[in-house]
Structures are given as C-alpha cells and as structure tokens.
C-alpha cells in the first residue's frame, strides 16, 4: 500500500510545476488517505502548506501526525511556530537542529523575544562564515539587532557602532542606523538618516510600487515620531498628510501610525480622540510589538481611558495585571500599571485630595515602585519635599539583599539625590553616591554616568578615605572608557595627594595648562579684583545713584546738610521713655486733666457704650442694654425703682 501510494505521489510531483502548490497539497492528501503513515507524504504536505502561507494548518498537521513526523519536519515546524507567534517554542526547537537554516530561525525568534544578547551571539556565528547570497541580509539584520539592544539598554557602551558610510548605501541599513540613533537620543542624526532611507527606497529599482509603499510607510511613521520629539509639529504634520494608513500591510504599523498621527493634531474632545485611537484593527498575536513599542501604546490607551472617566474598568484591569508580576520591580510596564491604577482610584484628582485617596493602597503594597513614584510626584506638586524624601527613603530601606539591583538602580538613585539636593542635604547626597558606586563598580557594564557623578562628588571632599574611593571609581571608569578625557582628568585628580609620577602618562594626554590659560591677562585679572555677582553689582550701582554729590554744580560750594530733627528737651544722657511709642492715654503714668466731669473720665457709671450697665438705675436702662447693641444713655435717673410683687 505504501509503495503504490509513494509511486503515485512521485508521478504526480513529476508532472506538477514547482509553483503549483495546491495541486501538490491535493496529491499528498490523497496519498495520506490511503497510507496515513507515509512519511514522505507528510513532508510534502507540510512544505506545500508553508508555500501557501497556511502556517496554522502546518502546526495542527505536524502536532496531530505523531512524533516521527515532528522529527522529520522539525525545521518546517519551527518556522511555522515562529510565523504564528509561538516564539519560545520555535527558538527551542530550532536550537536543537544543527543546520544553518535552523540558526536563522532561532536568531529571528530570539530577536522577536527581545533576547538581544543571545541574538547577537547567533549572528556573530552566522557572520563568521557567510554565504554570498546572505551577506547583505546578515548585515541588515545585525543593524536591527544593534538598534534593539540599545533600545533595551542591553548593550555594552564600548560596542556601540555609530553610523558609517556603508549604512547609507541601502534604505534598510539607513533605516536601522536611524533607529539606533533614536535609541541613543541622537534625534537630529536620526532625522537625516530617515530622509536618506526614504530617498533610497523611492529610487530603488529592485522593488515594485506596492513594495515601495510597504517600506515607505514605516519610515514615515518613524519620521513623525522623531519630528514630534524635536518639537517640529509643522513638519510632522506635513509628513502625516503624505501617507495613507490604509496602505499598511500589517496591523502593527497601522496602529503605531494612527497613534503618531493623532499627536500631530491633538483633539480637544477626549471622546473623539478615543474613537480615532481605537479605529484601527487590533494587532494579531503573531504580529507582536516590541516592549518599547507596546508600553507607550498601552500608556496612551489608558490615558484616554482616564480622560473618558473609565475609572472602574482601569482599576479592575490593572489589579489583575499587578498580581501577575512582583511589586518590587522597575519594569516600565508594571510601574505604569501601578501608576494608572492609583490615578484611577483618585478619579483624576490631584494635590492633597489625590494623596488622601492613594495612601491606603500604599499601606497594602508598600513595595510597589509604581505607587511610590506616583505619590512622590504628587508630593512634589504640592511642595511637600520632606514627605517625598521620607517615602523614597523608606522604600529603599525595605528592599532585601536580593533586590540590590533595584536599590541602586540609576533611576531611583537619581530621583533620591534630586530630592536630597532640593532639601540642601549635600552630605547625604555624597553618601548615597558613594554607596551606589561601591555596589556597581564590581558589576559588568556598570552605569557610567552614575559612577562618574560619584567620583566627582568624592573628589570634592578633603577626607583621604573618600579620595581613595574616588580613585577606585575612576580606575573602573578607565576600564570602561579609556579614551574619555573627563575620566582621565578625574583619575589624575584622584592622585593629587599620592604619587603623581604614576599618573604622569595620563596627565600628558590632557590639554596642558598653558594652552588652557593662553590669551588670559593675569595682571588685568588681579587689578580687577574679586569678581562680583550681577546682583551685587546692581546693588552697588543703586547705592551710587542714591548717594549725594559732594560738589554742587562745580562752583566749589558744598551743599549744606540739614541738621537732624531732635526734640528741644532732648538729653543724650537721659534714658529714653520706653513707652514713648504708645498713645498718651495708654501710658502707665497718664492722668486725665482736672476739671472734667467724672463721667467723661475712663470708666464712669453712666458711660454705658461698650461698658457695663448699672442695673440699679432704672428698668428702662436695663431693657435698652439687652436689646440694642451699642446704645448710650444720656444720664442717670434719680427716681427710685419701684418694688414689685414677689
């Protein structure tokens, strides 16, 4: 049975053209009906389905055919898994196959999984012995991996390759070089490279018109991002007007393009903005975005949800997401999830009202980094720096020994130092930098800027121990960036109290002092004296303008100064009256003048305005005092009060 089916399949394949994959698929299906264990028929069917881009069917067929078929078509199976987005499985299967094609599949799968280090190692192996037909493709892919590694921060600073002339020869390499420039924050250079990539793509003779549209659209979307980041809204709007998102062949480009185009002309109505943002179709699982794309996109979506008052939905969704990951993490997605959850609980309020609503969550999740950072921002907005410092300090102290990478994360250290500087605590700033430098200097690929800041801070100290600590830090920095002149200067300065001959070679690499002070007139500086600040100079100038001139009009006569006005009975030997600033009637020695009626003096019985009424005078006076505020009586009545019945 198997022999006859095999000969039947072979005869059909001989009669079929290489591009007639549907006919080949039908033949293999007929063969498998008569002989389900026919291994060659399974292989032919698998390849035919791949040629027809029916990857889901390939996976279903291989997984249902049994272990023998899976081993026989393992390469095809790994490729189909990669195409449908099951990347981890594809990479694991491809790694077990010792062929060059399997290495390509594994490298592509790990690239999509954002395993930059593993992908770079694989491409280093592939590029060591490239075939003629794949040399250009390998160079293009290597550029994409380099850009991704810089986006993820998983690259050694010493290995970063700046754009070269060869990157400007094709639009793919120019585009990858532009992405690397964006990751490094070199937006001006990225703008130039993207224009070059667009020009090369438009004039390419190897692409059809439809292929050019497919390639130009991602370049234009990236251009909009770069221009908006530089504040060039008009130019970004011009680029956006030239593209049509409906021409995008994949949903991911369409989604990102819609997001960037909305930013060129922001809509004031949040409901219309939400409608426009969600107008594009959802991205399928096999077209998964990278984290540095998906996180900002999800952040914009949740921001629109907040503006549309979807508070309960955000709280419910973020609560489920936060339970899947540890709270003490600095993963950007997790931090944004916690932050959005807090703002949804605050119902878009700010200030003290928002803090009051969010603080109960902090008691439940004290190690939630996103929640802590959100509260710190709110405290800063209301001017409560002390509470912000205490919050960050408590969070850092509660981290365990296994969480020291988080404790000394450059972002958290920078935040803590900025808060301490705002409070003027310079000594604590130095201590925090020294602790962070002590931790990172033993690690591979340490944060260069953090170590440099710590070394400079310790150099300012007069303490010999701190100077030695600075020396160790700059030694580590020299290993990481030996040609950096600032590092060399710091290393030389750290030996100022030691053996200068040991660093003479490094000192010779620096600009000589004579060159630095050339053109400076030392004598003129000495004559000028100590420089004053602009504020001090303004005050001095104001004083000179207010001062009277000694000579009036140049006639030789001095202007007469007025004598100071002092009392006639002033005696410098007598002690001034301590009550001289008080009104006369309030002084302790004041006596009213004689000859006046007793009622006119301070506090007579008949003076009822603001005083106490003598109820023994008459009933009318008594009634007037209780009913009318501020009433005055004309005098006391001599008529006695009549006795009433008890």
578-601, pLDDT tens digit by residue?
888 888 888 888 888 876 555 544
Of 245, 250, 309, whose CA–CA distance to 277 is shortest?
Answer: 245
> Are the CB atoms for 335 and 373 separated by under 8 Å?
yes
Residue 643 is predicted with a pLDDT of 43
Residue 410 is predicted with a pLDDT of 92
For 255-291, the pLDDT digits (tens) are 999 999 888 888 889 999 999 998 888 888 888 889 9
Please state, rounded to an integer, the average pLDDT across all residues of the chain: 82
Residue 540 is predicted with a pLDDT of 63
Query: Is residue 558 classed as helix, strand or coil in its secondary structure?
Result: strand
Residue 625 is predicted with a pLDDT of 37
Residue 622 is predicted with a pLDDT of 38
Of 78-92, 251-265, 275-289, 552-566, least confident by mean pLDDT is 552-566
pTM score, whole prediction: 0.70
Q: Span 68-84, mean pLDDT?
A: 94
pLDDT value at 177 more than 90: yes
Residue 186 is predicted with a pLDDT of 92
Residue 283 is predicted with a pLDDT of 87
pLDDT value at 549 more than 80: no
* pLDDT confidence band for 498 (50 / 70 / 90): confident
Residue 636 is predicted with a pLDDT of 39
Residue 439: other Cβ atoms inside 10 A: 16
Of 337, 301, 346, whose CA–CA distance to 318 is shortest?
Answer: 337
> Are the CB atoms for 16 and 48 separated by under 8 Å?
no
Q: Return the beta strands (E) in 165-213 as ranges.
A: none
Q: Span 414-440, mean pLDDT?
A: 91
Q: 285-297: string of b/e by CB count within 10 Å (b at 16+)?
A: eeeebeeebbbbb
Q: Helices 55-65 and 39-51: crossing angle, nearest 10°?
A: 160
State CA 175 to chain mean position distance: 25
Residue 275 is predicted with a pLDDT of 92
> Are the CB atoms for 93 and 77 separated by under 8 Å?
yes
Considering Cα of 583, then 589, then 595, then 599, what sign does the dihedral take?
positive
- Domain layout of the chain by residue ranges: 9-113, 438-514
Whose tokens are 């803590």? That residue is: 416
Q: Span 383-410, mean pLDDT?
A: 91
Structure tokens that stand for 378 in this block = 């709110």
Burial of 634 (0-12, 13-18, 19+ CB in 10 A): exposed
Structure tokens that stand for 556 in this block = 């030789």
Q: Span 148-162, mean pLDDT?
A: 78
Measured CA to CA, the distance from residue 67 to residue 611 in angstroms comes to 110
Measured CA to CA, the distance from residue 84 to residue 106 in angstroms comes to 14
Residue 630 is predicted with a pLDDT of 41
Residue 158 is predicted with a pLDDT of 62
Residue 637 is predicted with a pLDDT of 39
Which letter does DSSP use for residue 59 in this model?
H
Highest mean pLDDT among 325-339, 406-420, 534-548, 576-590: 406-420
Of 521, 480, 523, 487, whose CA–CA distance to 503 is shortest?
Answer: 487
For 311-343, the pLDDT digits (tens) are 999 998 888 776 666 656 888 888 999 999 999
* pLDDT confidence band for 128 (50 / 70 / 90): confident
For 218-254, the pLDDT digits (tens) are 999 999 999 999 999 999 999 999 888 888 888 888 8
Highest mean pLDDT among 28-42, 296-310, 604-618: 296-310
Residue 618 is predicted with a pLDDT of 43
For 101-122, the pLDDT digits (tens) are 999 999 999 999 999 889 999 9
Alpha carbon dihedral 102, 108, 109, 113, in 10-degree steps, equals 150
Q: Span 550-561, mean pLDDT?
A: 56
Residue 501 is predicted with a pLDDT of 78
Q: Span 197-206, mean pLDDT?
A: 92
Residue 570: other Cβ atoms inside 10 A: 8
Residue 80 is predicted with a pLDDT of 95
Q: Span 50-60, mean pLDDT?
A: 93
Query: Is residue 198 classed as helix, strand or coil in its secondary structure?
Result: helix
Residue 475 is predicted with a pLDDT of 87
pLDDT value at 7 more than 60: no
DSSP 344-372: HHTTT--HHHHHHHHHHHHHH-TT-HHHH
Q: Span 183-199, mean pLDDT?
A: 93
Residue 525 is predicted with a pLDDT of 82
pLDDT value at 536 more than 70: no
Q: Span 497-517, mean pLDDT?
A: 82
For 341-370, the pLDDT digits (tens) are 999 999 988 889 999 999 999 988 888 999
Residue 518 is predicted with a pLDDT of 84
């Amino acid at each position: 049975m198997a022999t006859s089916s095999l000969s039947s399949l072979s005869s059909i394949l001989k009669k079929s053209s290489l591009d007639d994959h549907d006919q080949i698929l039908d033949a293999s299906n007929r063969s498998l009906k008569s002989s389900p264990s026919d291994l060659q028929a399974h292989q032919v069917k698998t390849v035919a389905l791949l040629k027809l881009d029916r990857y889901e069917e390939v996976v279903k067929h291989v997984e249902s055919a049994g272990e023998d078929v899976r081993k026989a078509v393992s390469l095809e199976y790994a490729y189909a898994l990669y195409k449908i987005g099951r990347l981890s499985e594809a990479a694991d299967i491809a790694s077990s196959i010792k062929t060059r094609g399997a290495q390509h599949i594994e490298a592509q799968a790990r690239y999509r999984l954002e395993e930059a280090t593993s992908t770079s190692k694989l491409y280093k192996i592939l590029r060591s012995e490239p075939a003629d037909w794949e040399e250009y493709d390998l160079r293009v892919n290597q550029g994409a991996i380099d850009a991704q590694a810089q986006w993820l921060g998983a690259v050694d600073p010493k290995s970063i390759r700046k754009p070269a002339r060869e990157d400007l020869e094709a639009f793919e390499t120019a585009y990858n070089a532009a992405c690397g420039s964006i990751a490094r924050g070199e937006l001006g250079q990225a703008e130039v490279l993207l224009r070059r990539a667009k020009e090369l793509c438009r004039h390419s003779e190897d692409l059809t018109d439809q292929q050019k549209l497919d390639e130009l659209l991602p370049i234009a979307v990236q251009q909009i991002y770069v221009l908006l980041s530089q504040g060039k809204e008009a130019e970004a709007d011009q680029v956006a007007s030239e593209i049509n998102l409906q021409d995008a062949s994949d949903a991911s480009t369409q989604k990102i393009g819609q997001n960037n185009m909305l930013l060129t002309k922001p809509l004031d109505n949040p409901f219309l903005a939400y409608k426009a943002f969600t107008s594009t179709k959802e991205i399928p699982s096999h077209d998964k975005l990278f984290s540095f794309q998906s996180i900002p996109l999800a952040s914009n979506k949740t921001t629109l949800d907040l503006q549309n008052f979807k508070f309960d939905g955000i709280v419910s969704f973020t609560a489920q997401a936060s339970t899947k990951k540890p709270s003490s993490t600095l993963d950007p997605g997790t931090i944004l999830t916690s932050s959005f959850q807090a703002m949804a609980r605050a119902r878009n309020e700010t200030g003290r009202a928002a803090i009051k609503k969010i603080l109960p969550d902090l008691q439940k999740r004290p190690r939630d980094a996103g929640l802590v950072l959100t509260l710190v921002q709110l405290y800063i907005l209301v001017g409560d720096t002390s509470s912000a410092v205490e919050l960050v300090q408590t969070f850092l102290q509660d981290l365990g020994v296994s969480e020291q990478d988080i404790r000394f994360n450059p972002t958290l250290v920078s935040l803590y130092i900025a808060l301490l500087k705002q409070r003027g605590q310079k000594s604590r700033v130095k201590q925090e930098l020294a602790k962070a430098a002590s931790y990172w200097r033993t690690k591979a690929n340490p944060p260069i800027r953090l170590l440099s800041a710590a070394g400079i801070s310790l150099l300012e100290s007069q303490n010999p121990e701190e100077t030695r600590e600075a020396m160790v830090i700059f030694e580590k920095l020299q290993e990481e960036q030996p040609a950096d002149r600032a590092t060399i200067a710091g290393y030389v300065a750290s030996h100022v109290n030691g053996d200068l001959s040991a660093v003479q070679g490094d000192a010779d690499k620096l600009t000589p002092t004579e060159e630095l002070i050339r053109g400076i007139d030392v004598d003129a500086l000495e004559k000028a004296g100590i420089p004053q600040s602009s504020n001090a100079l303004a005050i001095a100038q104001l004083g000179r303008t207010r001062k009277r001139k000694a000579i009036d009009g140049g006639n030789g006569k001095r202007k007469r100064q007025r004598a100071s006005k002092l009392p006639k009975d002033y005696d410098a030997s007598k002690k001034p009256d301590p009550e001289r600033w008080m009104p006369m009637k309030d002084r302790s020695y004041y006596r009213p003048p004689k000859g006046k009626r007793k009622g006119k003096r301070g506090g007579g019985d008949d003076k009822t305005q603001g005083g106490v009424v003598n109820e023994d005078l008459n009933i009318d006076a008594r009634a007037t005092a209780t009913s009318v505020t501020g009433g005055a009586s004309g005098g006391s009545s001599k008529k006695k009060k009549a006795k009433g019945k008890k």
